[in-house]
Every structure is written in structure tokens, then in C-alpha cells.
Structure 1
Amino acid sequence: MVEVAGSVRRVSVVGSSGSGKSTVARRLAGILGVPYIELDAIHWRPGWVEEEPEVFADRVREVTRADAWVIDGNYQSKVGTLVWEQAELVVWVNPPRWRVMVQVTLRTLRRAARREELWNGNREGWGGLRLWRSSDSVIRWAWDSYAPQIERYEAALVDPRHAPLRFVRLRSRRDVERFLEQLGRSGLRGCG
């Protein structure tokens, strides 16, 4: 794991659906004392309608202009490197596929049963369990996108365009806890 020294004010947290990235991002924002920004909340309009690409990119550009943040989400296919151009650190939450599948399945069941509101009035329904319909199933999406995402982020780790960024790859819950403890002990703060 990469040692994170110095102040960290702008962090991008990425990983597959169900990897635990939102939990890590929220905890990280709390430790650093910076705003938590969820790209899904910007991307999804009411009724599961995707935001217009230009509007989404403009809103992402706007939030990344702030001095400090932890941004949760991928969306490179929609906004390119907008987030990473402003980030100082990328935290890649990358547990094994089996763990992702267990976590995303349990999360989908919980959200459907409790009718939890996610963003802008949107809720995951029981359709998320229809594995044969990839457009409806976050479980199927997590399975299908897992391997390509690993390829994309492994390539990003060695891409010279991202040389100014520091990357941390967290492959287990133990890695997550050690990383967050390290940040907490170091007294790093995003503001001030």
C-alpha cells in the first residue's frame, strides 16, 4: 500500500459497483474533514433519467473546482479525466469479485426491501435481481463491469498522463482499515 504523506485535499474514490467505494469515500471525507460528493447524485435525475452529458460534465467541473473534496464514483466514460485532473489522490477500492458480488447482492436486496431512496427520489426495486436483463440489474452490471474496470485502472496506474497522481489500491477490508487508520493517525486534514 502507498504511504500517503502530506496534506490531501482532493481525493477520487473509484471501484466497481458493490466494492464498498461509497462507504470508504464517506469515511475518508469524515477523516479529512472535507465535503463528500457522490457522482451518482449528480448523474441521475428523478425517474432514473440520466443527466444530459454536457450538463453532467459542467456540474462535475464545477464541484471539482472546490479546494477540497472526496468524490465517489467512476464515470470516466462520461466525463473523461475531469475528476482526476483536479485530484491529488485516487483510492481504488478493488476487493475480489466474489466479495463484490456478495456485497452488491445484499445491498440490492436491502434497498429493494426497504425502498431506500438513493438520489433524487430514485429507488432500486426488485428488478435489480433480474440477472438476465443487464439494463435493470446492478448485480449483472457489477459482474459484467468488474474485469474491464480492473484492466482500465491497472492501465491508469502506469499511464504517464496520470504521473502527478498518487494511487492507492485497496484489495481487502484489512487494506481499507489500515489505510483509513494511517490517515487518521497522520492527522491529515483537507482544509486549513
Structure 2
Amino acid sequence: MKNTKIKMDKTLERIHIIGGPGSGKSELATRLSVLMPAPVVRLDEIAYNDAALGAFGSPTDRDLRLRRVDEYSQQSCWIAEGVYFSWLGKSFREAQHIILLQTPVHIRAHNIQQRLKALPDTATKQAHLEHLLRKNDEYDELFESRISGFLSPFEVKIRVFSGPGKACKHFKRLLAG
């Protein structure tokens, strides 16, 4: 079977994906990057020095984060995925679409557990699992109390989906346009 790219629509070059832990941000970013000629920016890897190793114990300096966001935001194509907000104003301003994944909390918890099952059993793994599950439990309240207000200036760009599959289908239709 021939691997073909869907024709790129000029309004779909910069996408920022947000949602709670385990909502499917990484999965959607990967799926969209297959459809579009755009690199994926994993914000965990900007926020933490050791995120690529699956650890989150060494946060990066705020100035470094801001420089990295500035760098990718100036590019013509990108797909950023991550749940951070306080240092991502430029990313939200430059994005043409902000995808909000509102995956139900119980599905997010299941996804977190499945993702971490693949990692070797260590004390770090258990601590990370507990941390992500706690953040998952807190996310919906945090979204209502703080995050939704932060996003209000970008309302016209926000597209809400109940999971990565529905979002991917939507963008496939737009790209096929």
C-alpha cells in the first residue's frame, strides 16, 4: 500500500494540543504528524531535562523554556503537545488551532496505567504513576478554576474533542477538504 500524505491546508500548519494527563495528546500529535509535514514538539521535554528518559525530576530553567517556545513558535509548521500553561502564551498566540482533549477521567487513568506498564518496575516508575494519577484526579478542577480562564483569549482557536480518535478524524476531513 502506497504511503501518501493528505494535501496540506495552509491554515493547519501550527497546532497546539492540550488536555489532562493520559488524555491522548501524544497519540494525537503522532497521528497528525503522519498526516501533515509538521514536527511534534513534546512540551515535557522542554519542561524537564530528563523527560525523554521518562523521568521528571529535573525541571528546566524558565528562561530556557521561554526561548525554546519562542524557537518553535517562529517555525512555519509544528504540532505542540502538553498541558503546561504559564510559559506557553506565545505558542497559544501563534497556533492556528488549539485542540482541547476532554477525555473522561477514568479513561485518562486507564491510559496512564497502560503507558507505564511498558516501563521496567522501579521505585521511580511507581512514584511517577502515583504522581500522574494524582494530577489526573486534580486536572478537571484545575481546568475549571484556572486553565479555562487562561485560554479565554484564544477561544476562537479552540476545538474540543472527547478523545484523540475524534480529533484525528476531524483533521483528516479538513486536510482532505
**Match 2:14 to one of 2, 7, 10:** 10
Kept in 2: contact 1:25–1:72 (CA 8 A):
yes
How many Å separate the matches in 2 of 1:125 and 1:183?
A: 34
1:75: Cα distance to partner? 1.6
How many Å separate the matches in 1 of 2:137 and 2:17?
A: 19
- 5+ long unaligned stretches in structure 2: 1-8
How many Å separate the matches in 2 of 1:62 and 1:6?
A: 20
**Match 2:158 to one of 167, 170, 173:** 167
Kept in 2: contact 1:112–1:126 (CA 8 A):
no
**Match 1:67 to one of 71, 76, 90:** 76
Instruction: Give the alignment's TM-score, normalised by structure 1.
Output: 0.73
How many Å separate the matches in 2 of 1:179 and 1:80?
A: 22
How many Å separate the matches in 2 of 1:112 and 1:144?
A: 26
User: Per the alignment, do residues 141 and 186 of structure 1 end up closer, same or farther by CA in structure 2, a change over 3 Å counting?
Assistant: closer
1:24: Cα distance to partner? 0.7
Kept in 1: contact 2:16–2:80 (CA 8 A):
yes
1:109: Cα distance to partner? 2.8
Q: Which amino acid aligns with 2:98?
A: V
> Could you tell me which residue of structure 1 aligns to residue 132 of structure 2?
138
Q: Which amino acid aligns with 2:38?
A: V
Give yes or no for the alignment of 1:38 onto 2:47: no
1:65: Cα distance to partner? 0.5
RMSD over aligned CA atoms reads 2.6
1:106: Cα distance to partner? 2.2
> Could you tell me which residue of structure 2 aligns to residue 102 of structure 1?
110
Give yes or no for the alignment of 1:111 onto 2:119: yes
Q: Which amino acid aligns with 2:84?
A: Y
> Could you tell me which residue of structure 2 aligns to residue 118 of structure 1?
none
> What is the percent sequence identity of the aligned residues?
18
- 5+ long unaligned stretches in structure 1: 116-122, 132-136
Give yes or no for the alignment of 1:19 onto 2:23: yes
Give yes or no for the alignment of 1:126 onto 2:135: no
How many Å separate the matches in 2 of 1:38 and 1:19?
A: 14
How many Å separate the matches in 2 of 1:67 and 1:180?
A: 21
1:153: Cα distance to partner? 4.7
Give the secondary structure class of the aligned counterpart of 1:143. helix
What is the count of residue pairs matched by the alignment? 164
Give the secondary structure class of the aligned counterpart of 1:45. coil
> Could you tell me which residue of structure 2 aligns to residue 90 of structure 1?
98
User: Per the alignment, do residues 58 and 126 of structure 1 end up closer, same or farther by CA in structure 2, a change over 3 Å counting?
Assistant: same
1:80: Cα distance to partner? 4.3
> Could you tell me which residue of structure 1 aligns to residue 6 of structure 2?
none
Give the secondary structure class of the aligned counterpart of 2:118. helix
Q: Which amino acid aligns with 2:16?
A: S
1:110: Cα distance to partner? 2.5
